Structure 1
């Protein structure tokens, strides 16, 4: 939990090019289009989610004698409710791309069965993960995906966009965001995919810069208000607005940096993490629980050690993801999820040379 509420628990042209098209085909040799930039953004979100999840999993107090501690205060203003909106948005976007691919792959356009299998598999993973991290996101995503995204896929895209905007702005302004943002962000992600925006990022540099600047201005106004009422953070409009605004700043900022000479290096770090986001998200919980005891972190105020643990996990996961993806097309859990979705053994090992 945060002080008040909590999280429900781009590039040079070559990086923006359509390069990783593994969203739904299940066949590495004939992948449908997905922009590798999406994976980089997902990898960034994974980093932020990890930093916010560790204290929740091992129950680290954020206040001592009624006074907020410095590190959790900074994280409250910079990380909490800043990264789960990115994940939710990307889930809606990827779901829309998956439905398009399922339409092409299935006989007579019967995409419902693989969609149901995909969501059930996600729900099962979420149920298991709930035992170790109560409040985790996968089960919520599976349920909301079935209730919101599947019906929305039958609607005209303008209605999906309007629903996404309303479903995001209303919870932020009335309830301060939180898990109620998920349906709206799912719809916004779906609308983004259906309008084809993700495939035209290479020529949207000016629009990204304007959006980043506008979101930064909104965040600059909302953050001091949130900082003045940390006890209600997560339940008031200022924290919700600051959260969504900073999420936009982080995403557009990364997209802009990926267009600079720094892009190749950033992509090398974030893209492997993002391509194996499911595996990394779940394995992080195991690593946290294994390390918490030896590091004496549970119920402690050793926030500096917590940050070092997060950094260590990310370094290990980045190295492991890069190593794995040089040999296989999909991460371990991503591959299993794909096999269940299409109900067939999907080729995974890369062909040498």
Structure 2
């Protein structure tokens, strides 16, 4: 029997349209990143072939702009918004006199199920299952003070991942000796190359069964990735930053926080651009040079520095977006993305379905063949169509189809789907 004051789905009138638009903006960048790195097969190509694709001047420029402006920045922003969304749901539940824990646990459980199905049946790069797992850890911080939350951000984002990387790098040397550790690292790298090659061959097959079997196999192999614990800590750190921003109502009351947002814009883009420039220079200088099987100390430090850069740049993007959204012209332009943000889950899953058809051998077979510039143009075209479809869909329905399934399973009953005919203002929103 449901609790009389139990939390329910967010009504259209309760939504923060800046956050919807910002989520749509982040979703576009995430789609570009996924397409360039994984859907297109670029991450699976032999080093020489990938470098040959990026050799022309146009591709070199596009690749540099991608690394500088897009790579990992929007994934960071998307994770930040997940934590901020948790904060909003928690505050709304408390306002209704309800506990968020039971509903949120069910919500995360359903998201985990959707994510695992997506990972093994459609596309290996699923992030939903990871967000669901880390979301359970986020519950532990719901009653911690703002100071404690902010203290844990650098610990989870920098200290713990760096300690894990150092332990993984030097632990085998201490236990088995330098020579045995080097041989083991070399063997693991060769195994990774073989797994990626087999995955690319599977995706290139003209059989749907073969392609998806290769996807499921690669997904299973990825669960044992030694870098996964550090990655989970980094995501939790992003969630916590979003949790803090939600508590401060940073993006709900922009006018009150305008001065702080301007500082975040300056520091975020300033530090983010500086680190991105350093990383780009290092990449260009080392282009054509194979990375060692075992990362050196400076490489471990560079990885951590890059993550910090992604965080600062993503924060700068969020601040800039919020400030632009306060202007009438900016709101009109950026608000176009709000429908996409409202049904981000549906569009994210749709992107996977469309992309495996575009790139896999049983579809149009573009995997491994398109240069980065064409991949980005193709992805932007697909996303533009999605924005139009989202607007049309939400003119009639309250949720996207995947969001409706998610909410219905969470609350144990079918949620009302169609917009009430007597609410034209809500439909227009």
TM-score, normalised to structure 2's length? 0.69
**Which of 277, 281, 306 matches 2:348?**
281
**Which of 152, 155, 162 matches 2:151?**
162
- Pairs aligned (count): 325
- Higher alpha-carbon deviation: 63-72 or 151-160: 63-72
- Mapping of residues 160-199 of structure 1, within 5 Å: 160-170=149-159, 179-199=232-252
Q: Tell which structure's C-alpha radius of gyration is larger.
A: 2
1:90 aligns to what? 81
- Give the conservation status (yes or no) of the 8 Å contact 1:211–1:252: yes
- Higher alpha-carbon deviation: 94-103 or 77-86: 94-103
- Give the conservation status (yes or no) of the 8 Å contact 1:172–1:240: no
**Which of 2, 21, 40 matches 1:58?**
40
Residues 110, 27 of structure 1: CA spacing in aligned structure 2 closer, same or farther, 3 A cutoff?
A: closer
Choose between structure 1 and 2: higher helix proportion. 2
Whether 1:225 and 2:278 are equivalent positions in the alignment is yes
3-state SS of paired residue (2:131): helix
**Which of 304, 311, 314 matches 2:380?**
311
CA distance in 1, matches of 2:23, 2:394: 16
CA distance in 2, matches of 1:268, 1:198: 15
**Which of 106, 112, 115 matches 1:117?**
106
Per-residue deviation, 1:255: 1.4
- Higher alpha-carbon deviation: 189-198 or 114-123: 189-198
- Give the conservation status (yes or no) of the 8 Å contact 2:81–2:242: yes
5+ residue gaps, structure 1, are 1-23
Q: Give the RMSD, CA atoms, in angstroms.
A: 2.7
CA distance in 2, matches of 1:250, 1:87: 11
- Give the conservation status (yes or no) of the 8 Å contact 2:343–2:399: yes
CA distance in 2, matches of 1:62, 1:162: 41
- Give the conservation status (yes or no) of the 8 Å contact 1:165–1:188: no
5+ residue gaps, structure 2, are 1-6, 55-59, 166-226, 292-298, 423-429
- Give the conservation status (yes or no) of the 8 Å contact 1:335–1:348: yes
- Higher alpha-carbon deviation: 277-286 or 70-79: 70-79
- Higher alpha-carbon deviation: 97-106 or 336-345: 97-106
CA distance in 1, matches of 2:26, 2:160: 21
Whether 1:264 and 2:246 are equivalent positions in the alignment is no
Per-residue deviation, 1:268: 3.1
2:129 aligns to what? 139
